[in-house]
Amino acid sequence: MPHPNEAFLPGLFEFLRIPSISTLPEHQPDIRRAAEFVLAELTAAGLSARIIEGEGHPLVYGEWLGAPGKPTLLLYGHYDVQPVDPVDEWISPPFEPTVRNDNVYCRGAVDDKGQTYILLKAVAVTMQRHGRLPVNVRVLIEGEEECGGGHISRYVPAHAAELKADAALICDTEMFAPELPTICTGLRGIVYGEIHVTGARTDLHSGIYGGAAPNPLQAMAEIICAIKDRDGRIQIPGFYDPVAPPSEAERAAWARLPFDEAQYAQHELGAPELVGEPGIPVLERLWARPTFEVHGIRGGFTGEGAKTVIPARAVAKVSCRTVKNQVLETVERQLAEAVKAACPRGVTAEYRHIHSGDGALVDTRHPCVQAAARALTECFGQETVYVRGGGSIPIVAMFEKHLGIPSVMMGFGLPDDNLHAPNEKFHLPNFYRGIDAVIRYFEMLGE
């Protein structure tokens, strides 16, 4: 029997077809179209909605405040998506929603258009059924989540009073396992930047100069290895000092989660083996330990064939994920100092900061979290589990800091959804049940 929420697939696909890649300037018109799509959905649902212009991509805001005395939820999502390269690894075109095995494949399917659409439809369905909502809602959808854009981060502090709410509801995370309703209670922060290494004045011929000329790529390798050792331990002095471990209760709960390390390595990652700090359980490494990762290295010659160049410069994109009690500014400084300290002779090296974002921890005893857990348990027929996420959703920290509210992270993605990668997908049964769960959450919170 088809799920009644299948009726929402055409709308979802229309949303997904808009290639709203926020980081590429040529997609500016698509960004605008995606914002207008969201606006139209909110208006059609009966909300008072508008586009908020400003420096950066537009925000879309909507509100329905007709339930005085009831809690107010701030619904957050983002209509922008990641780039699609390497595009030749996509099985179906990245912006043509294609259903295979109960999954819809498309860039943005789960991150975050599909999950944003869950929020929009939950509001629309409830309004349509009852002509009202059991709670007050504000909706704030942004278009720069994937490019670290600043529009929302300037808007929220400047309009804190207008965004007053009891909690935020964010559908931008994932379930721990298929069928296992999940609330995410913690996120890591991020410090992202570039390591710049400079050697000679110009690129040099490796025959004429090899043996005396400094090679910035070799130096970069040395700096990277000095920052993180072969075992995955970060070697920056004092880096781990402030790190707060998870509570014993949390550790015990994580140990009970259905997690098989070999299965995770082979099936989810497709890697020969996991890496990381020895002696620390995988989930704790992912959720409660900081990281250092290299995202790309530029410099020299990487085309077809052979060019014997010693490059004059090399640049590495790097980031640290941070956890509770780490201060972003301190990590930035530690990275900058570590790069300087690790710099070998013959070159100069420096860390150039690009952006940072705070992590967050949510108290599971908050009534808005408790109601969400009950709604999920009811809709999925299994006890809701609390996990953390290893990624960063800067908005969560922002809501906490400027609005003083926790975020209820009710995610419907699955671990194999290929976020930020080719063949991103969304499991359609989760899309259907997600809408039901959010509707039920409104009801329980309004009781």
Give the residue, chosen from 243, 309, 327, 336, that forms a contact with a second copy under the rule CB under 8 A.
Answer: 309
CB 167 within 8 A of CB 137: no
CB 357 within 8 A of CB 189: yes
Q: Does 242 bind a second copy (CB under 8 A)?
A: no
Q: Does 130 bind a second copy (CB under 8 A)?
A: no
* C-beta closer to a second copy: residue 127 or 274: 274
Q: Does 419 bind a second copy (CB under 8 A)?
A: yes
At its nearest, how many Å lie between a second copy and the CB of residue 156? 20
CB 213 within 8 A of CB 200: yes
Q: Which window, 32-40, 63-71, 135-143, 220-228, contacts a second copy (CB under 8 A)? A: 220-228
Q: Does 418 bind a second copy (CB under 8 A)?
A: yes
Q: Which residues contact 9 (CB under 8 A, 6 or more apart)?
A: 104, 428
CA distance 247 to 256: 14
Q: Does 294 bind a second copy (CB under 8 A)?
A: yes
- For the segment 90-119, give every residue that binds a second copy (CB under 8 A): none
CA distance 194 to 235: 18
Q: Which window, 8-16, 64-72, 339-347, 368-376, contacts a second copy (CB under 8 A)? A: 339-347
Q: Which window, 26-34, 45-53, 237-245, 276-284, contacts a second copy (CB under 8 A)? A: 276-284
- For residue 208 the two structure tokens come to 């004429």
Q: Does 348 bind a second copy (CB under 8 A)?
A: yes
Site size toward a second copy (CB under 8 A) is 92
* Rounded alpha-carbon distances, angstroms, from residue 308 to 203, 241, 296, 313, 316: 10, 44, 21, 15, 21
CA distance 47 to 63: 5
* C-beta closer to a second copy: residue 54 or 276: 276
* C-beta closer to a second copy: residue 222 or 350: 222
Give the residue, chosen from 188, 324, 425, 440, that forms a contact with a second copy under the rule CB under 8 A.
Answer: 188
CB 435 within 8 A of CB 121: yes
At its nearest, how many Å lie between a second copy and the CB of residue 145? 12
Other beta carbons within 10 Å of 345: 6
Q: Does 352 bind a second copy (CB under 8 A)?
A: no
Q: Does 212 bind a second copy (CB under 8 A)?
A: yes
* C-beta closer to a second copy: residue 113 or 289: 289
Q: Does 205 bind a second copy (CB under 8 A)?
A: yes
Question: Which residue's entry shows tokens 């921890």?
Answer: 361
Furthest-apart CA atoms within the chain: distance in Å: 79
Q: Does 230 bind a second copy (CB under 8 A)?
A: yes
Q: Does 397 bind a second copy (CB under 8 A)?
A: no
- For residue 380 the two structure tokens come to 């999925």
Q: Does 153 bind a second copy (CB under 8 A)?
A: no
Q: Does 295 bind a second copy (CB under 8 A)?
A: yes
28-45 helix and 113-130 helix, angle to the nearest 10 degrees? 20
- For residue 398 the two structure tokens come to 């922002």
Give the residue, chosen from 2, 260, 279, 302, that forms a contact with a second copy under the rule CB under 8 A.
Answer: 302
Strand bridging mode 182-184 / 385-387: parallel
Tell which residue, 112, 139, 125, 135, has the closest CA to residue 49.
139
Give the residue, chosen from 56, 391, 434, 446, that forms a contact with a second copy under the rule CB under 8 A.
Answer: 391
* C-beta closer to a second copy: residue 7 or 225: 225
At its nearest, how many Å lie between a second copy and the CB of residue 393? 9
- For residue 151 the two structure tokens come to 């529009």
Q: Does 377 bind a second copy (CB under 8 A)?
A: no
- For the segment 41-70, give every residue that binds a second copy (CB under 8 A): none
113-130 helix and 9-16 helix, angle to the nearest 10 degrees? 140
